[in-house]
Amino acid sequence: MLECHVTCPYCGESIEILVDDSVSDSDYYEDCSVCCRPIRVQASIDVEGGCQIVLLRDDE
């Protein structure tokens, strides 16, 4: 699991999420640890272990 620091698309607070690096692409929901709103997380892991994360509001 990769620990990633991101910004909540709702409240703007910096939060920490865990991304499963055993799969190349993942798409899941995780609640913000500050405002508790659902965030859609789209993560891609490349062959070198780099991570690209897209965070979307549930209403997008």
Block means of pLDDT (10 residues each) for the chain, 60 residues, are 93 94 91 97 86 88
What is residue 52's predicted lDDT score, i.e. its pLDDT? 92
- Token readout for 34 is 């500050």
What is residue 50's predicted lDDT score, i.e. its pLDDT? 81
In sequence order, the 6+-apart residues with CB closer than 8 A to the CB of 28 are: 40, 41
Angle at 26 between CA 37 and CA 60, to 5 degrees: 40
What phi, psi does 21 have (nearest 5°)?
Answer: -90, 5
What is residue 14's predicted lDDT score, i.e. its pLDDT? 98
What is residue 43's predicted lDDT score, i.e. its pLDDT? 94
- Token readout for 10 is 């709702």
What is residue 38's predicted lDDT score, i.e. its pLDDT? 96
